[in-house]
Structures are given as C-alpha cells and as structure tokens.
Amino acid sequence: MTDTYTRLVRSAPGGMLAKQLGLPRPSKLLRRGDRPEPVLGPVVVLGASAAADALARRLLDEGADVRRRFEDLRSVGTVVIVADELTAPGDLGPLVLPLAGAMRSLLPGARVVTISRPATGEEPARDAARGGVEGFVRSLAHEMRGGATANGILVADGVGPDAPGVVGALRFLLSARSAFITGQFLTVTSDAGSATADLAQPLAGRTALVTGAARGIGAAIARTLSADGARLVVLDVPGAGTELSRLANELRAVPIQLDVTSEGAGERLVSFLREHGLLLDIVVLNAGITRDKLFANMTPDRWDPVLGVNITSQITLSEALLEAGDALGAHPRFVSLASTSGIAGNRGQTNYAASKAGVMAFVDALAGRLEASGGTANAVAPGFIETEMTAKMPALTREVARRVNSLAQGGRPVDVAEAIAFLASDEAGGVQGQTLRVCGQNMVGK
C-alpha cells in the first residue's frame, strides 16, 4: 500500500534528490509482522524513583535487555522515562537530558515513552512540571526519525505505576502495534483491569461486534480482533452483503445485515444476539459515512445521514444493548470511531466534524455509566488512513494529507485496528472516556 512518492524517495536516486531538496522522506514503519518482539532492545529506563526501579525489574523479568544509563551503548531500541515524582520544572531537565546525547543512537522503529502524572490544578510548581512532560513529548515526537515514536502515559494520582492499565498501555506503546501513534498520551485513571494471560491472543474467549465491517477499516478491525482470539459478529448494511459474507467466511464470524439507522435497529440487533445465544464482550462502533460540502452549500440531505450513521446510531445501538440486560458480558468494552476532523475541524466537513466530535463526547459520558460495572468506553481518532475512500480524494489534496504528520505518510487500516484491539483488552480497564489519536501526530489539533 506504499504510495508512489514514498517508493520514489526510498530508492537510492530518489532519496538523494529528496535530501538535496529538503523533501519529506518517509521511513518504513515496523508493524506487527515486521517486528515481532514485544520490546525493541536495548532498553534504557531513566528515573530514580521506586517506580523506575520496579519497571526496570519487570522489563528485565520479561526478557528485555535493560540498562539504567546510555553509556557504552552504540544503539538503543527503547527509552522509558519514569517521571512520576516531579515537584518543580527544574526536575525535568536532569531526567530527560541524558536522552539528548543518545538521540542519534536510536534504532529504526525505536520507542520513547514517558510515565508521569497529570496536572491536577492543586500545586502550581508541581503542575508546571507535569505539564512540561506533555510539551516535551509532543515536541520530541516531531524530531524522531526512522519511524521511531514518542508517547506518554499519564497515571492518575492514587494509581500505582504498576497498575494493569499502566503496564498494558506501556506494552502497547512499546510494541510494533503502535507504529502510527506518536506524540500522544494515554491516561490511566484507575487500578481497574487485569493482566493478560496470553499475550499472543489477548482477546481469547471474547465475543466482539464490529459495525461497518464489510470493508476498509472495519474489515481490518475484524481481522485484527480475530487474530487476537476474539469470536466475531460482523455487521454491515444489506448493500454490502457480498463483502460481509466473504469476510464472515474468512474469519468464521457470524454476519448480520442491518442498516444501523433504520427504525428499531438496536432492538433487532438484540433479538439477533438472543437467537444465536451470543453475549458481547466488545462492541466496536465503526460504521460511518461522509457527505462533504462547504457549509454554504450544506443541505439536510447531506447533513442528516452523516449525523445519523456516525453518532446517532452509536447512541441507539449502545442504549439497546445496555437496556437489554442479556446482550453484554460482565465487563463490556465499547470502542467508537472518531476522527481528527472532530478535534481540529476540516474545511468542507462541518457535518462530519460535528458527528465525530459528538462521538468523543459520547464515549466520555458512556464511560461514566459503565465504570461501576467494570466496563469501559473509549474512542480512536484516525488521521489520514490509506483506504478506498481516501484514494478518491484529489491527487494534490491526498498527497498533502499524507505528509502533514510527523511520520510523513498515511496510516493503514491495521493501525486503527491495533489501537482498538488494545482498548478492547483486559489491560485497558483503567483507560476510560478517552480518544486516542492514530494519526502519526497530524499537524492539526494536539
């Protein structure tokens, strides 16, 4: 799925020309099939707190080559900066500056992850230091090279740095599954969740519903959840019946043809689940459409369907599943598809941006409703992803969209799917009401 420009600049003459002209030179991103090891070594853990010591021991116990300093290392695969005890801005420099001299030693596909606390609005100096970590990581991500990424984990006060949600988030961000995520933060708000027994199939024994599953990102989500061990229920409109049946046969999934905007769609879904004796542990609300137009030319026939599919259907399906009482497992995971357009807006997409901003607010509210039962609700916001839909964009617009992120390339549907699989896992139990951007640190929003 590599685009023509990327193929050109990865060739010897093309790369030389791009360097001379100062053009973007996208690096190959190492995804799951390219880099199977869970942690790229050697690993350097920076920090003098008890949490840093404990984390170093955990990584060592899991087989990583762990060091506490950069001396004598010619190359570095992973850097974990444990900044959980900052009290003032002056504490940050001594902690992170050792990395400065090692930046040129980072391997292709390297990972830098910080573990820190979020600002609480209570202690000015401490909050300034905590906020400084976020600015540091977001800027560092713009400077990473060779497909390397920089991200952070914010651990709420009162949550231990060794909580399942922290360990799970760290594993995800250090793995090749986070290849198109950089400059982002995951916040772990509680000790909820549990360690994954089988890292190869973390969703084994779970049943997952994926809406809009017949093609594109939806099909990639279904394939990834299936590869992680989940049993699949795949849903799409009757018009996509052929593709849906083909996918269901491939994954041994249960297909359901249903227009999610039709009257009584939620009740029909619940009836279908009862007929087949299915309880959903994971609900991925992916179905979505676009009807782009400048707002001056916007009409109800373009506005209403987009809001109907992209957000109203998510609300009605979720309500039906929750109210049924026998459609969901004990600790359900809801994951919705948002978009960076909903964060920063996009010309000609007032309807789409409104629907996707609505998704983010929706999961935040739904998370509060689910938290008491151990369930979660979160969203994933893709940036430019190489799909059939983006392939239809005007060539120049498409090319610009590919390059305006820190990784200088478009993502793949599997990148979105990997983030969803993480949020659907037991280890993400402490992540609530958040929207994780999968955009290569697109130059819009934050």
Helix ranges (DSSP H) in 101-230? 124-143, 164-174, 216-227
**What is the percent of the chain with per-residue pLDDT over 70, rounded to a whole number?**
97
Structure token pair of residue 153: 């984990």
Question: What CA–CA distances, in Å, run from 380 to 12, 219, 407?
Answer: 36, 16, 18
Cα–Cα distance for residue pair 38/184, rounded to 1 Å: 20
Cα–Cα distance for residue pair 168/425, rounded to 1 Å: 9
For position 182, what pLDDT does the model report? Answer: 97
Residue with tokens 């279904």: 222
Q: How confident is the model at residue 445 (pLDDT cuts 50, 70, 90)?
A: very low
Average pLDDT, stretch 323-351?
93
Cα–Cα distance for residue pair 218/393, rounded to 1 Å: 20
Identity of the amino acid at 130: R
Encode pLDDT of 378-434 as tens digits. Answer: 999 999 898 877 777 777 777 778 888 899 899 999 999 999 999 999 999 999 999
Question: Looking at 172, 303, 334, 352, which residue is catalytic?
Answer: 352
Structure token pair of residue 245: 């049946």
| Cis check: omega of the bond before 42, within 30 degrees of 0 | yes
Q: How many other CB atoms are found less than 10 A from the CB of residue 21? A: 7
Encode pLDDT of 257-302 as tens digits. Answer: 999 999 999 999 999 999 999 999 999 999 999 999 999 999 999 9
Q: What are phi and psi of 114, to 5 degrees?
A: -100, 150
For position 446, what pLDDT does the model report? Answer: 46
Encode pLDDT of 180-200 as tens digits. Answer: 999 999 999 999 888 777 788
Helix ranges (DSSP H) in 26-182? 50-61, 92-100, 124-143, 164-174
Q: How many residues does the chain have?
A: 446
Mean model confidence pLDDT for the chain: 93
Same fold, 29-188 and 207-438: yes
- Select from 198, 196, 174, 202 the least CA-distant residue to 186: 174
Cα–Cα distance for residue pair 347/350, rounded to 1 Å: 7
**Cβ distance 57 to 88 under 8 Å?**
no
**Cβ distance 225 to 284 under 8 Å?**
yes
Cα–Cα distance for residue pair 74/61, rounded to 1 Å: 23
**Cβ distance 380 to 438 under 8 Å?**
yes
For position 26, what pLDDT does the model report? Answer: 78
**What is the percent of the chain with per-residue pLDDT over 90, rounded to a whole number?**
80
Residue 352 pLDDT greater than 60, yes or no: yes
Average pLDDT, stretch 352-374?
95
Encode pLDDT of 21-69 as tens digits. Answer: 777 777 899 999 899 889 999 999 999 999 999 999 999 999 999 999 9
3-state SS assignment for residue 35: coil
**Cβ distance 211 to 287 under 8 Å?**
yes
Structure token pair of residue 15: 């790369």
Q: What are phi and psi of 54, to 5 degrees?
A: -65, -40
For position 234, what pLDDT does the model report? Answer: 98
Say whether pTM exceeds 0.85: yes
Average pLDDT, stretch 80-103?
96
Identity of the amino acid at 398: R
Give the right CATH number for 29-188 from 3.40.50.720, 3.30.70.141, 3.40.30.10, 3.20.20.70.
3.40.50.720
Cα–Cα distance for residue pair 363/358, rounded to 1 Å: 9
**Cβ distance 134 to 97 under 8 Å?**
no
**Cα distance between the two ends of the chain:** 27
5 is catalytic: no
| DSSP character at residue 277 | T
What are the extents of the domains in the chain?
29-188, 207-438
Q: Which CATH architecture fits 207-438?
A: 3-Layer(aba) Sandwich (3.40)
Encode pLDDT of 201-219 as tens digits. Answer: 999 999 999 999 999 999 9
3-state SS assignment for residue 237: coil
Cα–Cα distance for residue pair 140/72, rounded to 1 Å: 23
For position 444, what pLDDT does the model report? Answer: 59
